[in-house]
Structure formats: structure tokens, C-alpha cells
Amino acid sequence: MKWIHIAAILAVPCNGFSLFQDLLLGLGDTYGREPKSLHQEVQRIADNSVITILSDIDSRYSLRVKEIAPEKLGIDTVKQWSGYLDYEDSKHWFYWFFESRNDPEHDPLILWLNGGPGCSSFTGLLFELGPSSIGSDIKPINNPYSWNNNASVLFLEQPLGVGFSYGDEKITTTKAAGKDVYIFLELFFSKFPHLRSHDFHISGESYAGHYIPQIAHEIVVENPGRTFDLTSVLIGNGITDSLVQDDYYEPMACGQGGYPAVLTEEQCGQMSKDADRCRTLNRVCYTTESNIACIAATAFCDSVTLGVYEKTGRNFYDIRGPCEDKGEMCYYGLRYVDDYMNLPEVQKALGSDVHNYTGCSNQVGLGFMLTGDGAKPFQQFVAELLDMKIPVLLYAGDKDFICNWLGNHAWSDKLDWTYGDEYQQLPLKAWKSNVTGEEFGQVKNYGPLTFLRVYDAGHMVPYDQPEAALEMVNTWISGVHDFGYTHE
Ligand SMILES: *[C@@H]1O[C@H](CO)[C@@H](O)[C@H](O)[C@H]1NC(C)=O
Ligand SMILES: *[C@@H]1O[C@H](CO)[C@@H](O)[C@H](O)[C@H]1NC(C)=O
Ligand SMILES: *[C@@H]1O[C@H](CO)[C@@H](O)[C@H](O)[C@H]1NC(C)=O
């Protein structure tokens, strides 16, 4: 047990801070403990407002769709639906879909995914970019910078075990999760067939830097018979290429990421030394893709980077401040989201079968950890998209530590694709608002690949810089991929 226990203690999936924290606090044997996300109280309540759609691809899958009366919850006034994708009686994924506030008959569709692995996409919905956030009185506050201002937005709770999603089977790899998301999307489009002709973008953050490339591969390569197309992908503060990204914890913590050093010189020196061994372990993981090798890489690399940073008491997701609430990914305000999602009237209005909502599931995080999924490479699927001329936006809040902008910038530079050399040689230049002229950050673009550094934002860019994030997404989905970047 010791090996796994040590691996579990040290392996911090991007975003999966609560897991790390619980284990670090020595709450004992993970397997012996009552898992937080065990849904003992699942009961499917008959509800005649729910429509069920069967899959043409695989008859074992069906989609439940319930139209929500907007005034019941007050999250937005637009039309919205929620429900489950069901796989027989064993797997059930929950979603919540909002129409665009502008022109739902023509505006694009955006799928949003949070990371973890194991964190609910309702963190994005109610804390970052959705139509409302939740105040300390556990009531919705309208978000004027919601991403559904000019697009319809679909929030999916995946993989199984996240948020209101539940089931008997365990999903423990990005690959398996990607297959399920593809089937979900086909079913979703059969309920909303007019959306098939709209632009369709997949966006997300953190561990979605794993999910999104895999899902995109599943759509554009594995399923030539698909009924919809993928227009682009957007990844915010992602973890995609850990071999490269692990080299940038030291510079980020030691004053080279645009923020003063938060570690001592001695700690920084040690981190640089440990980076060599980390790189060696990551290389073995990349070449073998064996679970054991990848668990070993994560365990070692995380202990010598995140483990050291943790001692500073700072927020993993925002180097500027302290970790306010260790149980809630450092943000006290995330408690309001949990409290809201646990209100019986909210669950009734949404039609959830599950009555205990947790923002991040430790069980899901642990399952992924034990397959070494975190250290495995996913950047090759990004190269595949670029070679097919499908646009990719990598954006990064520059005050995040855990999936920092330096590491994201570096892996985009090293990426092996048709115009990789041309892209790599380009400098970052100012990214200015097209509305106010304010400098929001820095940008670099070549053909279908764009990297954006967003100033003064942590891991959750739309939370810290809602205006910049909305202009970013609206510019991108309008088809402007260079953000004004010129090649002179
Ligand atoms: C975005 O939505 C606003 C109204 O909500 C509208 O005035 C504007 O024209 C829309 N922009 C685009 C590009 O559709
Ligand atoms: C689920 O919530 C109910 C009340 O809402 C509570 O009594 C029960 O203990 C919770 N179960 C778990 C596993 O957290
Ligand atoms: C800025 O706005 C103009 C006019 O709407 C548009 O043509 C241009 O593409 C925009 N540029 C960027 C970088 O968004």
C-alpha cells in the first residue's frame, strides 16, 4: 500500500487540490476512508417534463432532456435545458445547456469543461464564465460577461462521478472519457439538430488540457461518420505536455514569470536540480506510456515542485495570494457554489438524480492518478488538429502557478506540427482590447495556432479578468484568430 499511498500523496492533478490536501493532511488510507462522492441517495424520480432520446450510434445510450423554467432559478432568462446522458443503468452524465443571450438561431455553440480530473463544470458555470455567479447569500448574481452573451454554452459534468454524474463503472483515463463525450455530443445534436450547422467550439481549463485534445481526436479522427463538425478548441491554463511544463515550476516560483520569487534561493536551487530527474522520469512515461512509469513521474515531479510550493501557504491557482480554503481549491467563494447546488429546490428544478453535490470528486481524481494519466502526453493531438487546420487557442492567466503560462508558452513553442518552426520563432506582442485599447496581455499567432498570456489572472481567467476573457472568446469565435498580431 505504501507505494500507492506515496504516489497518491504526491500526485497533484492540475486542479485536484482538494485531493492533494486531504491526503497531505494524513487522513489515512484513501481506500479505507468514506469517499466524499459516494452517491448513496440516487433515485430516479419520474418526471413527465423529461424527454428521452435514444442513440442511433449505440442503442445502449439515451439522453434525458428537461426544459428548465428560467424564472425558477434565476440563473439566466434564456431558454435552458438540463438532464442526463444514460448508458443502460450503469452510467449517467449530467449537463446544463444555455442558449445564447443574443441570437440562438445563429450564434455558435461552445462546450465548456472543467478539469481536476474530477471537478464539476458547474465551477465554470457558477464561478467563472456562466450567466450567474453565486453570492454569500447563496443567491445568483447576474454575470454581464457571461460567455453565452454571443454563443450558446453547454456545461457537461464528466467523467463519470463528477458533480451530478454517477454510475457503477469507473472512468479512469482521458481516453475512455473522450469516447463518452463523443457519444454525448451526437445525442445532444440529435435533440438540437439545428445546432449541427452552427460553429462548434470545445473549451475548458486545467485538466481539460488533457480532455480536449483527446475529445477532438475522437471527433475528427476516430469518427468520420459524425453528424457535426469541430470548428476550434480553446484551452485555458491547461496541462497537456507535462514533460515540458514540469520544467517551468521553478522559473514561475523563482521570479521569472512576471511575479517576484516566492521561494528561497536554496529552494529554487534544489528545484532546478530535481528538474533533471523529473525530466528523465517523464521521458520514460512518454516513451512507454506505462501506468507505473507515469505514476512514478507524477509522484516524483509533483513532490519536488507542488509539494515545495505548498509549504508557502500560497494559492496554487494564484501566486499572488494565500490559499483561503484548502477544501475548496483555495477559493472560499466556491463554498457558495456547493451550497447552491445542494439546495433541494435547485436539484428539483434541474432534475438531478444525485442529491449530494461536491465540486471535485476525490474518487475520480484518485482513479486517474492510479493509471498515471496525468503525466501522459496529449500535445500530439493538438498537433494533429493544427495539421488539419483546425484552430487552437491556448490562453493562460499569468498569475497561475499550477498550470502556469511559462509552461504553456513553452510547450506550444516545442510542438511538432507543419508550421511549428515558423510559430516558434515569433515573439510575443501586446494584446490590446479592440474596444478600450487596454493591454489585456500578450499574443502570438501563426496560422491556426494562437497563444495568449492574460495579465493579472490566475488559473481561472474568466473569474479574475471577466472582461478580457469575454472579449477573447467573442473575438475567437467571430473567426479572428490573430488578435491583431502582425508578422512585421
Ligand atoms: C453580441 O450580442 C450583442 C447583444 O447581446 C449584440 O449587440 C452584438 O451584435 C453581438 N455580437 C455579435 C458579433 O454577434
Ligand atoms: C447527502 O446529503 C444528505 C442531506 O442533504 C445528508 O444527510 C447525507 O449525509 C449526505 N450524504 C453524503 C454521503 O454526504
Ligand atoms: C477589431 O474590430 C474590427 C471592427 O469591428 C474588426 O474588423 C477587427 O477584426 C477586430 N480586430 C480584432 C483583433 O479583434
Pocket test for ligand 1, best of 77, 78, 99, 150 (most atoms within 8 A of CB): 150
CA of 302 from ligand 2 middle (Å) equals 33
pLDDT score of 310: 93
pLDDT score of 55: 81
Closest residue CA from atom 5 of ligand 1: 102
**Of the listed 400, 409, 464, 481, which one is catalytic?**
400
Q: Which residue has the cell 438540437?
A: 192
Nearest CA among 449, 447, 454, 465 for reference residue 432: 454
pLDDT score of 49: 79
Ligand whose nearest atom lies closest to the CA of 437: 3
CA of 115 from ligand 1 middle (Å) equals 29
Decide if 177 contacts 171 (C-beta within 8 A): yes
Any catalytic annotation for residue 459?
yes
pLDDT score of 13: 45
pLDDT score of 5: 30
CA of 437 from ligand 3 middle (Å) equals 12
Alpha-carbon distance of 69 to 348, in angstroms, equals 12
Any catalytic annotation for residue 400?
yes
pLDDT score of 38: 41
pLDDT score of 326: 84
Alpha-carbon distance of 358 to 336, in angstroms, equals 11
pLDDT tens for the chain, residues 1 to 488: 222 333 333 334 454 444 444 444 333 333 333 333 444 456 666 777 788 888 888 889 999 999 999 999 999 999 999 999 999 889 999 999 999 999 999 999 999 999 999 999 999 999 999 999 999 999 999 999 999 999 999 999 999 999 999 998 889 999 999 999 999 999 999 999 999 999 999 999 999 999 999 999 999 999 999 999 999 999 999 999 999 999 999 999 999 999 999 999 999 999 999 999 999 999 999 999 999 999 999 999 999 999 999 999 999 999 999 998 888 888 999 999 999 999 999 999 999 999 999 999 999 999 999 999 999 999 999 999 999 999 999 999 999 999 999 999 999 999 999 999 999 999 999 999 999 999 999 999 999 999 999 999 999 999 999 999 999 999 999 999 999 999 87
Closest residue CA from atom 8 of ligand 2: 356
Closest residue CA from atom 1 of ligand 1: 150
CA of 434 from ligand 1 middle (Å) equals 15
Shortest-distance atom of ligand 1 to CA 102: 5
Alpha-carbon distance of 200 to 320, in angstroms, equals 35
pLDDT score of 39: 42
Any catalytic annotation for residue 339?
no
